[in-house]
Amino acid sequence: QVQLVQSGAEVKKPGASVKVSCKAAGYTFISYGISWVRQAPGQGLEWMGWISAYNGNTNYAQKFQGRVTMTADTSTTTAYMEVRSLRSDDTAVYYCARDLRMAAGGDWFDPWGQGTLVIVAS
Amino acid sequence: EIVLTQSPATLSLSPGERATLSCRASQSVSNFLAWYQQKPGQPPRLLIYDASNRPTGTPARFSGSGSGTDFTLTISSLEPEDFAVYYCQQRYNWPRTFGQGTKLESK
């Protein structure tokens, strides 16, 4: 079945970087895009950006431009999201989610990974 | 950026009752709107897409309606497992945006 498995929880100091992975299985990786969404504790959902696994094209929320990089490794069917210059308000659960339909260029999010908790604290 | 405003923030109902959740967009999103359900400690789950389509696995008691700027998620008869937080989301343009959520709680 289609599955996205994310890397484990991270604790980082302010100013550091974190790279979260999202391992895809059960479908043709390059046929679907992947979005990243985060959720601060007790808060709502915030879309961060999207990457095409086919050609690596990206679309980032303006808020994260220059501080976030999304990549996709077709050889390992794994998507990555790196956040640099971490601040305390980056503490959140980070989710990857696949496009619902293939070649949809940024479709509805389904399925989702299990989430990766990133804590930023000194 | 398209702002989605959900109402009410919290809805208190009993099992068996009908739930009506609203999502209003700051500009037209045509029918490019989805609804997600999130339970504590779990990722969100897609419930409705393209305003009114149910993906495989979404029970028939969930229905979506609307177009343009006003959308509704209706749960015809609440089951105990339906108490959760619901988010709407648009993909009419970039950036993708979510509403702030409606918490559906058991009375």
Closest chain A CA to residue B85:
A44
Taking CB atoms and an 8 Å cutoff, what residues of chain B touch A115? 43
- CB-nearest partner of A114 from B43, B97, B100: B43
Mean pLDDT (chain B, rounded):
98
Q: Which residue has the tokens 């501080």?
A: A67
pLDDT exceeds 90 at position A104:
no
A-contacting residues in B 43-62 (Cβ below 8 Å): 43-46, 49-50, 55
Give, as one character, the DSSP assignment of residue A10: E
Which residue type, as a one-letter code, is found at position A89? D
Give the list of residues 6+ apart from residue A56 with CB closer than 8 angstroms, or none.
A71, A72
User: How many angstroms away from the CA of B41 is the closest CA of chain A?
Assistant: 9
Taking CB atoms and an 8 Å cutoff, what residues of chain B touch A59? 94-95
Taking only the tens place, the pLDDT of each residue in A29-72 is 999 999 999 999 999 999 999 999 999 999 999 999 999 999 99
Q: What residues form DSSP beta bridges with B3?
A: none
pLDDT value for A105 = 86
pLDDT exceeds 90 at position A103:
no
Taking only the tens place, the pLDDT of each residue in B4-43 is 999 999 999 999 999 999 999 999 999 999 999 999 999 9
